Every structure is written in structure tokens, then in C-alpha cells.
Amino acid sequence: MAEEATSKNRALAHGGLATLGRLAVSIFVPLVTFVVLWGGFIFLKESKAPPALIAIIAIVWGVGGVALLFWVADWTVNRFPPAIAKRLQPFVFVGPALIILAWYLFLPTLRSLYLSFFDAQSRNFVGLANFVYAFTDPKMLESFVNNLLWIILGTGGSVGMGLLIALLADRSRAEKAFKSIIFTPMAISFVGAGVIWRFVYAYKPVGESQIGLLNALLTLFGAEPQAWITLRPWNNIFLIAILVWLQTGYAMVIISAALKGVPSSIIEAGRIDGAGELRVIGSIIIPYIFTTLVTVSTTIIIISLKIFDIVYTMTGGQYGTEVIASMQYKQMFNYYDFGKGSAIAIVLVLAVTPVMWYNLRQFSKQEGF
Amino acid sequence: MSIKTEQRWLRLVNASLIVLVLLWAIPIIGLFISSLRAKSDVLNSGWWTILYTKSRLTFANYKQVLGGSKYTFVDSAGRTVRASGDNLSRAFINSLTVTIPSVIIPLLIASAAAFGFAWLIFPGRKAFFTAVVAMLVVPLQIALIPILRDYQKIGLTGSYLGIWLAHTGFGLPLGIYLLYNYVSTIPRDIFESAFLDGAKPLVVFARLVLPLSVPAIASLAIFQFLWVWNDLLVALVFLGGTSDVAVLTQRLATMVGSRGQDWHLLTAGAFIVMVIPLIVFFALQRYFVQGLMAGSVKG
């Protein structure tokens, strides 16, 4: 009897020790992981090794670090009693994403809203002054008008050209080859495209030989060369042309796929009823692919709304080409005015809320959630 | 339609397509040819003149933009000239260092999250995923000031870790959304048998979900790669302008400012920035198009 009790006690004590040990280990392992990763970060920051070596170490450290964190998190969760471990398990998978999204997108929206009510150094409350600035300052108004131009012409141009090329290519035997050339600029950065088109628009005074294609063509026909990039207000259109050149390929690919989905039977029926090609396109094909056109337009509207790189590279916002995103950048880095910068960012978010609302509505209709 | 009018129609279609395609291709061709011409040629005559006059092509422009500060070369008159290079080779390495983890890290995190949302049950699942959908279109401008302040506090400005995390944050909504759509279509039986065999979720994820999602992961990888490699704004804000860390797009934008009329260098620089994305793009175009079809709206 007594013997039994002591052995029970011993077992209990042993169990307690084991739990304690397990707890210690499950704190120790993540701690070691953290220290190792932090050490790597400090090393990368201070190290004077050749850049290529640093690059390789950085890549291994960064990617390996994330994989390791997942593994350690899973390992730690499995130290817990099964019932708790099962509840924690899903957060091993979605937790990192949720933390990063909260830090990088969700909280910043609230924090920017908060900052937009304060002055440049975020010290004194200024009420709506930054928003008054955002909606009345001449430069800001200029950027609104320009951005509207970007949205209308950029989206209209890309979708229109995309539709035209998709329709034409659909009727050609060399469809693939044509399409892949139009599609190529999608791989090119806004900055690279900026350089490509600056070169097309390059200007030299009258009398010198023009090295920019556009001015060379003009002078060929006896007209005077123009400094396109500084030519108000048309310069905006020359910048928007770059976006159209870049985004037409995207519109074309999506629209082209939708065209393949139009049943040939209704097209044939239209033709038999005597409709010409344009009539078939206007009354049958376009209504059929209308939702696709809306989706593509929405995507390009959002891209045009946030346009920054092209303006930054081509004009830096001078010569009347300022847009909302370039104004925001200037407030942040040229004037160090975090209040105005935040207010402009909030304006951008407000501008996309209709799309966000639409997306959420579509999503709530979706089955399975 | 008679056969004759149909033929005429087809000819018109092809002719207009050829015009459009030329319109799209000529700016790139002009850039490439100019990058191979000597400085004096580029600055004094249009690139199209090589079609009807004899002129020599050279790699000197590439040597100069890739070279460091002590770059020397022999000019057309045979003199040795010292000029400052643009050190794009360093920027090239920086771009790779920024891009590779900025593609892999969000892919890992997004695919884990997509698996969690699709196949694990936990409180708040629907609310969290709704938030992900809402964040699909949030402009990243909203994050610049708050995150920059955080980075200044904890010393992440100008560090690779800082920009990897930023690109991860901005790439996650689309990544989770696209991968969720894909992962949730994997047949239920596959998981059930694995779970019945006592496999742990991490094992199921690594052994089953990741291999099965390769097509979706590939198309997302191309998106993210093009986005990060071609990005200028995030790099300007979080990486800073020092040439130690500056990426290609930043260096090219700086060159436009400082060497605005040196077209022989700008064209070579632009081509260096473009070459990797173009290769990736052509090699993996199929996946890219699949990803586009899956619906793409990025914030």
C-alpha cells in the first residue's frame, strides 16, 4: 500500500518535472531560433564582405529563416496537450500572414488616418487642415485633373486597343505571334518604359538632326520639332501613352480569352440574319464579354489611380504633370510633411473603396464560406 | 460573304495587325540598337540610320554603365578616356538580393495561409479571409509613412530584411487569394486519407499541398517577381538611395536625372534593367497568362 503511494508520488513528481522540462524546451527552442536569426540580421547589416557573397548569405538567411520559423512554430504548438495543440494548429499556418497583413496594410490604414489629422511632425492636432489642403491646393487640384485624365485615357486606351487587337488577332492565322509581341511590354518596368519613350520623344533644336523618332517623323513632313515632355497640357497624354503601351497586352490577353468563349452558334446566327461584321461585334460579341471588359477596366483604373513611376521618371511632376501619388511622395520625402502625406494617402484609399465594396459583395455571394 | 471579299477582309486584318505590332515593337528595337551604337553616333543621328548607312556596333556603353567609378575605355580616336561608370553591376546584384527572397518568402507564407483558410477550421476564419479580400485593392501608399516610422525606430531602413517584409506585406493579399482559389479545389479525399493516416498538418502541407499547387505557385511567382524587380516606389521609400543597396530601377531613375541626354548610356542601362524580366517572362509565359486569368487586382 505504502509502496504503491510512493510510486504514485514519484510518478507525479516525474510527470511534473517532465512538464516543466517540456515547457522549458518549448520556450528555449523558439528563443534560440530567434537569437540565431537576429544574429544573422546584425551580421548582414554590419558585414563588409563582397556584395555577391552578402547577397547569397542574405538569400539563404531570409528564405531559410522563414521556413525555420514555420517549422519551429509547428514544433512548439505540438509540445502542448493535444486538445490545445489542435486549436492552435491553424494559426501556425494563417498566423504569420495575418500578423504581416495587420502590420503592413490593416493598421497603416488606421494609423495614416490618425496621422492625417496632425501637423508635419505629427505633434499638434490640426483638424481637417490637411484635407482642406488636399482638396483645395492648386497643385493638388492639378493632380486630381491629371489623375482623372490618366484614368479615362489610360483605361480607355488600354482596353480599347486591347479589344481591337484581340478582335483582329482572333481573325488572323498568325494570332499567337502578334499577341506575344503586344504582350511583351508587360514584363518591362515603368522606369524602363519611361526611358524607352523618353527616347522616342527626344527633342533637339530646329536644324539639328533629330534622334527621337517622333520628332524625326515630324521634321520629315516639314513640321517643327516639339519638346513633347514639356509641352503643356499635351505632355500628360504623352505620358499616358506609355501606360497604354504597357497595359494593352494585359487587356488583350484577358479579352482574347473571353472572345474564345463566345459561342460560334450565336455569331453564325447573327451573320445568317444579315448582320455585317461590325454589327456582329457591336451587338453580339461586346455584350457577351461585357463583364470581362468591366473587370479589365477596373484593374487598369486602379493602376492608373496609383500611377507614380512613370511621372517620377519622366518629369518628376514638373510641367503640369503632377498626379496624386507623386504629390504624396513629395509631401513625404521633399517636404517631410507626414500629415499632408497621410491625408493624400487616405484620399487614394477613399478612391478605391467602391472597388473594394464590389469585391466584397462578389465574395460574400461565393459558396463554401 | 463571298470568298473574294473574305480574302480582302483577311488582308486588311493582317495589315492593320502588322502596323499595330510595329508600333509596339519599334520603341524597344530602337532602344536596343541605340544601346549598341557609339556615343557620337547615338547623339548625332537617329538609330534608324543604321538601316541605310554603315556604322559599327560596340559594347562600350554596356561596359561603362556596368563598370564602377574607375572605368576607363579607348575612344574612337584611340585615346584612353577615364569616365565615371554607373555601377549597374552592383545594382544588379542588389536587385537579385532584394527580389529572390521577396518572391519566395511571400509565396511560403501565402501558401501556408491559403492551406489554413481552405482546409483547417478555426474561429474567425471567414472574417479574416474577408479582410484579405478587402485588402486586395488597398493602395500601398497608405503604408509608406507608418511603416517608414516603424523602420526608423527599429533600424530596418535601408536593410534587405525591411524591404523583403514590405514586399511580402504588399504581395500577400493577392497571393493568399489566388492560392486559396487553387488550393480549395484540391479534392477532399486526398486530405482525408492523409489525415486518417495520422499525418500532421505541416506534413500534409509540405508533402501534398505544395507539390499539388505548383502551377498556381509558379504563376504567382512570376507576378511577384515582375512586380518586385520592376518596383521603384517601395525601393525608394524603404531602401534609400545609397548605392550600396540601391536596386536597378532606382539607379536607372537616377541616371535619367543626372545623364538625361546621354542616350548611349541610358539605352544600355534600360536594357540591363529589362533583360532578366524579359527572359523570365518568355520562358514562363504560359504560367503568367494562367495567373492573369485567375483574376488579378493588386494593391
Does the B91-293 domain belong in CATH 1.10.3720.10? yes
Cβ contacts of A185 on chain B, cutoff 8 Å = 24, 28
- Contact call for A348 and B129, based on CB within 8 A: no
Give the span between the Cα atoms of A295 and A362, in whole angstroms: 12
pLDDT (tens digit per residue) in A232-245: 888 999 999 999 99
Task: Nearest by CB to B289, from A182, A253, A298: name it.
Answer: A253
Domain borders along chain A are 2-79, 132-365
Determine contact, residues A202/B47, Cβ cutoff 8 Å.
Answer: no
The answer for A 236-275 residues in CB contact with B (under 8 A) is 245, 248, 250, 253-254, 257
Indicate the range of A324-338, B39-53, B157-171, B244-258 predicted with least confidence: B39-53
The one-character DSSP state at A118 is B
- Contact call for B27 and A199, based on CB within 8 A: yes
Q: Which of B130, B141, B160 to mutate to test the interface with A (most CBs of A within 10 A)?
A: B141
CA–CA min distance B150, chain A (Å): 10
Give the span between the Cα atoms of B43 and B26, in whole angstroms: 19
Task: Nearest by CB to B139, from A182, A196, A306: name it.
Answer: A306
- Contact call for B166 and A104, based on CB within 8 A: yes
Residues paired with B80 in a beta bridge: B74
Picking from B237, B232, B277, the residue whose alpha carbon sits closest to that of residue B255 is: B232
pLDDT higher than threshold 90 for residue B4: no
Contact with chain B for residue A209, Cβ under 8 A: yes
Q: What are the grid coordinates assigned to B285, written together?
A: 509565359
Average pLDDT estimate for B274-288: 86
Give the span between the Cα atoms of B33 and A20, in whole angstroms: 71
pLDDT higher than threshold 60 for residue B199: yes
The band of B298, judged by pLDDT with boundaries at 50, 70 and 90, is: very low
pLDDT at position B296 is 45
Give the span between the Cα atoms of B223 and B107, in whole angstroms: 11
pLDDT higher than threshold 80 for residue B259: no
Give the span between the Cα atoms of B42 and B48, in whole angstroms: 10
Mean pLDDT computed over every residue of chain A: 86
The label of the residue with cell 576607363 reads: B72
Give the span between the Cα atoms of A287 and A173, in whole angstroms: 25
Determine contact, residues B291/B64, Cβ cutoff 8 Å.
Answer: no
Average pLDDT estimate for A299-303: 91
Task: Nearest by CB to A51, from B90, B140, B299: name it.
Answer: B90
Q: Which of A66, A86, A104 to mutate to test the interface with B (most CBs of B within 10 A)?
A: A104
Give the span between the Cα atoms of A198 and B261, in whole angstroms: 10
Task: Nearest by CB to B141, from A183, A345, A360: name it.
Answer: A345
- Contact call for A191 and B232, based on CB within 8 A: yes
- Contact call for A213 and B134, based on CB within 8 A: no
The answer for A 3-32 residues in CB contact with B (under 8 A) is none
CATH class of A132-365: mainly alpha
The band of A7, judged by pLDDT with boundaries at 50, 70 and 90, is: low
- Contact call for A189 and B113, based on CB within 8 A: no
Picking from B152, B261, B128, B68, the residue whose alpha carbon sits closest to that of residue A105 is: B128
CA–CA min distance A325, chain B (Å): 8
pLDDT (tens digit per residue) in A53-104: 877 887 888 888 888 888 888 888 888 888 888 888 889 899 999 999 999 9
Location of each CATH 1.10.3720.10 domain in chain B: 91-293
The band of A161, judged by pLDDT with boundaries at 50, 70 and 90, is: very high
- Contact call for B144 and A345, based on CB within 8 A: yes
Q: What are the grid coordinates assigned to A110, written together?
A: 488606421
pLDDT (tens digit per residue) in A20-48: 777 777 778 778 888 888 887 777 777 77
The band of B75, judged by pLDDT with boundaries at 50, 70 and 90, is: low
pLDDT at position B297 is 41
Give the span between the Cα atoms of B260 and B253, in whole angstroms: 10
CA–CA min distance A299, chain B (Å): 6
- Contact call for B13 and A253, based on CB within 8 A: no
